[in-house]
Amino acid sequence: MLRLDKFLCEMNIGTRSQVKKELKQGAVTVNGETVTKPEYKVDEKKDRVAYKGKMLEYRRFVYYMLNKPPGVVSATRDNVHGTVTELLKDTGYGELFPVGRLDRDTRGLILMTNDGELAHCLLSPGKHVEKTYDVELEKGLSREDVRRLEEGVDIGGGRRTLPARVRVLGEKRIYLTITEGKFHQVKRMMEAVGNRVVSLCRVSMGGLKLDEALLPGEYRELTEEEVGMLKG
């Protein structure tokens, strides 16, 4: 059971004070009856709650897959650049945040949610969640370069990366799978073997694969199967 004002806040109707104002104005019904008291208890699984005539389906947490375009920062707010949260304003959920970060010039898969527990699990270093990147390089990799990347390389500051997986897709293109998220890690790994990243796209994270139907800047909700896979 939830207080009605808490239920409405979690459904993104507004802040606690805004919700109380809407209740006083008779904008909310529970099972067809107008309710004005914020402390009124509702069963989020059984009661039929409507706001201005529209039924509300209770969902505490939501999950979206975003194909991040270049030029956008992986943050909730920024004074200079556009943010990933601004791309999801039409969802109606104002408290979404990105799980992890991609550099401003990097594109690809970003998970957007309001589920802090899942985000912590996916980002925890001890979980070794795999992330795969489609990497276009300035020049091809030698067998020795691949061996070094797969064994781990020194990316400066006394930091050595954990073993990675390299799948060669073409002369200057690879899939690189890592289990860490150090600052500019992929770029620094390529620099460690005398190469340079021309373009970078994250194509998967924790088994979740970027939907090829999503154009840069587009997003969709995760399916129940995808959410279940991430929670594993």
pLDDT value, residue 158: 81
pLDDT tens-digit profile of 5-21? 989 988 878 888 999 99
Q: Kind and range of the H or E element at 123? A: helix 116-123
pLDDT tens-digit profile of 189-207? 999 999 999 999 999 999 9
- Domains of the chain and CATH, by start: 2-55 (3.10.290.10), 63-125+210-231 (3.30.70.580), 130-205 (3.30.70.1560)
pLDDT value, residue 47: 95
Given a cut of 80, whether residue 33 has pLDDT beyond it is: yes
Give me 141's structure tokens: 């990799």
CB 74 within 8 A of CB 84: yes
pLDDT value, residue 95: 82
- Cβ atoms within 10 Å of 178's Cβ, excluding its own: 21
Pairing of the two strands 197-205 and 107-113: parallel
| 103 is a catalytic site residue | yes
pLDDT value, residue 159: 86
Model confidence at 60, pLDDT cuts 50, 70, 90, reads: confident
- 46-56 mean pLDDT: 94
Give me 9's structure tokens: 């806040």
Burial of 183 (0-12, 13-18, 19+ CB in 10 A): exposed
Tokens 């069963």 belong to residue: 43
Helix axes 116-123, 224-231, angle to 10 degrees: 50
Q: Give the three-state DSSP class for 203.
A: strand
Report the distance separating Cα 224 and Cα 205, nearest Å: 16
- 90-117 mean pLDDT: 92
Of the candidates 103, 115, 134, 145, the residue annotated as catalytic is 103
Mean residue pLDDT across the chain:
94
Report the distance separating Cα 137 and Cα 12, nearest Å: 43
pTM for this structure?
Answer: 0.84
- 7-36 mean pLDDT: 92
Model confidence at 173, pLDDT cuts 50, 70, 90, reads: very high
